[in-house]
Structure 1
């Protein structure tokens, strides 16, 4: 069994690289790891007038499936609940979307696949 501290550190490193990659694509990072009722928002970013909640999923290989496959309907519901809590806490009303950024490989050598508006919520 892997050490959870190592897994957390690896996850944090992947999220940092993912945020940098998305900033290179033109998004602005507003926050990381926002804990909210029922879930956690990996990255909160701004894309023009749109607030973007980005779920970052990582796998070292796709041997046992692609990271995109892990964002199931229950996971989507948790993300939506967390986003609603975030919006209420921040008192924000604006267009929003949910993106998924799949990362495959070992940091820093990652390949990203970005799915914009991966699922609808609002």
Structure 2
């Protein structure tokens, strides 16, 4: 069984943009983890994750995002979630994790926060 998760990474002057499209679950999360770990290991600790195209996220996906957030913050950076809506917003709210992240409704809102 495979799930579809497309990941694109763009290094900008003030941050690294990671765009997630599809489903983040136990299977795709284990494929995403090495990419996020590599970014952090290389010193890219100012992360903006565009989740506009994320249709689903399970508990393992949430755990991966939380671990990545914690590593980025420990290294003096951040992880901002942009484009949070629909089912992803609901699961963050229901689990109480909405308050654990810096969350922005749109990518432009998150990028404006990075620029401040």
Q: TM-score under structure 2 normalisation?
A: 0.30
Instruction: Name the one with the larger strand percent.
Output: 1
**Which has the larger Rg?**
1
TM-score with structure 1 length normalisation?
A: 0.29
Q: Which has the higher helix share?
A: 2
